[in-house]
Amino acid sequence: MRVSVHSVGTYTDRVAGTSTCQHHTRYRRLVTRVFTVRAVERLRVRTEAIAAELLDALDPSAPADLIPAYCAQLPLRVITEILGVPPAERDQVLELGTRAAPSLDFALSRRQFQAVTAGLRDFARWLDAHVERLRRDPGEDLLSQLIEARDEDSALDNRELKATAGLVPAAGFETTVNLLGNAIALLDRNPGQAARLRGDAALWPSTVDEALRLDPPVLLTGRVAARATSVAGIELPAGAQVVTFLAGANRDPTVFAHPERFDVTRENARPRQRTERERLQRSPRPPRPGRRTGRRRSRSLARQPAHQRVASG
């Protein structure tokens, strides 16, 4: 028997598109006071430093499993610093996040559903205690700043704070692990493309977008029709659940020439720019490590010996 995980509930209901327009505007105004351009730039610099530390820790003379040693550690370190998590609790956060990660999947078995429910409850208890600890003793992290953020009307309430804190690992951990792992595997399987990238660091932006297109960390997503409507001639009653296969659109031959190929020079790999209305409707979230370009990327590729690769398959 398989059940829907939606009844578990998530931290993202209030911040990821299910709130009213008035509430969303207020929430966005408060959050953007913390996630400023300057704050994001500091986060980018810190992410580069963490990436360099992790690369320096790898032994170039020995094989390495890059998923636990690098791909998981980079987003874990960045996310825990955003949330003000003490280094001693990083492993606990990783374990809780791993247990809760399947909540984003569809059609879980009853056993999986029960395990995810327990994991979410444990994460909620940890997060309650963590937010209260930061209220008493705030740090310089972004979550502490969110706790103290206020406008002329109010501050974020406890549910909104937990929703925001929960959204960061939910949106930024597993996706980043898979993006990094998939991209490394693609470069490993396509040495000619890797050589082009080594020779021209300006190709990093299109390389990241091409990896996201060809082997994305999120293959599908779901929506529920708020009202009766029709899509591509198919009638959908209110409440109907719709699953969209993003990976299928990424390989549309009418859009991408030779869509099965990995091409670091592909000019249309980058998604189209959203309209201003679409941008305003999106919840603010910190950038995932790995989406920025820069010298660290070219250094990581140059440092990677042939035997330090992610197994493809």
Residue 197 CB contacts under 8 Å (≥ 6 apart), including other chains: 187, 203, 204, 207, 264, 298, 301
Q: Any idea which residue has 């529920």 for tokens? A: 224
Other Cβ atoms closer than 10 A to 297: 21
Task: Inform me whether the pLDDT recorded for 287 exceeds 50.
Answer: no
Closest CA to 43 of 160, 141, 150: 141
CB 147 within 8 A of CB 138: yes
Max mean pLDDT among 4-13, 147-156, 185-194, 267-276 falls in: 185-194
**Which of 14-28, 30-44, 154-168, 281-295 is least confident?**
281-295
Give residue 302's pLDDT: 52
The DSSP symbol for 294 reads: S
Higher pLDDT, 255 or 282: 255
**Average pLDDT score over residue span 251-261:** 95
**Angstrom distance (rounded) from CA 178 to CA 247:** 14
**Angstrom distance (rounded) from CA 36 to CA 34:** 6
Radius of gyration of the chain (CA): 21
pLDDT category of residue 2 using cuts at 50, 70 and 90 = very low
Mean pLDDT of the chain: 82
Secondary structure E strands in 65-224: 108-109, 220-224
Give residue 3's pLDDT: 40
**Which of 99-108, 198-207, 302-311 is least confident?**
302-311
Give residue 237's pLDDT: 96
pLDDT category of residue 185 using cuts at 50, 70 and 90 = very high
CB 23 within 8 A of CB 14: yes
For 194-250, the pLDDT digits (tens) are: 999 999 999 999 999 999 999 999 888 888 999 999 988 999 999 999 888 888 999
Long-range Cβ contact pairs of 61-69 (< 8 A, separation 24 or more): 63/307, 63/308, 64/308, 65/310, 66/180, 66/181, 66/184, 66/308, 66/309, 66/310, 67/177, 67/181, 67/310
Our CA dihedral for 273, 275, 278, 280, rounded to 10 degrees, sits at 110
Give residue 151's pLDDT: 64
Which tokens is 197 given? Answer: 């990238």
Q: What is the 3-state secondary structure (H, E, C) of 236-267?
A: ECCCCEEEEEHHHHCCCCCCCCCCCCCCCCCC
Task: Inform me whether the pLDDT recorded for 81 exceeds 60.
Answer: yes
pTM over 0.75: yes
CB 58 within 8 A of CB 97: no
Task: Inform me whether the pLDDT recorded for 19 exceeds 50.
Answer: yes
Task: Inform me whether the pLDDT recorded for 16 exceeds 90.
Answer: no
For 110-155, the pLDDT digits (tens) are: 999 999 999 989 999 999 999 999 999 999 999 999 998 876 667 8
Interior/surface letters 60-75, b for 16+ CB within 10 angstroms, e for the rest = eeeebebbebbbbbbb
**Which of 13-27, 97-111, 244-258, 287-301 is least confident?**
287-301
